[in-house]
Amino acid sequence: MKTINTSKISSVNSIMLFLASFGISYSLVSEFAFERPNRELLVIIICLLAGSFASKKREKAENNK
């Protein structure tokens, strides 16, 4: 049974994944197309993406118990 808290966490994770994907795309286009490297932003966004994936996996594992 899903609770309100679980559905909020799930929606936040989905939003974080979307924003992280958008941020990675922006950083890569900025670096390769416009030749304005912003590697700090890219590293931060990759860490955010990894955290989002880990949170989704943990949530899925908890739901399968």
The confidence score (pLDDT) of residue 3 equals 59
Model pLDDT, residue 25? 85
Query: What does the pLDDT read at residue 39?
Result: 79
Q: What is the pTM of this model?
A: 0.66
Structure confidence by residue, pLDDT tens digits, 4-60: 666 677 777 788 888 888 888 888 888 888 887 777 888 888 888 888 888 888 888
* DSSP symbols for the chain: ---HHHHHHHHHHHHHHHHHHHHHHHHHHHHHTS----HHHHHHHHHHHHHHHHHHHHHHHHHT-
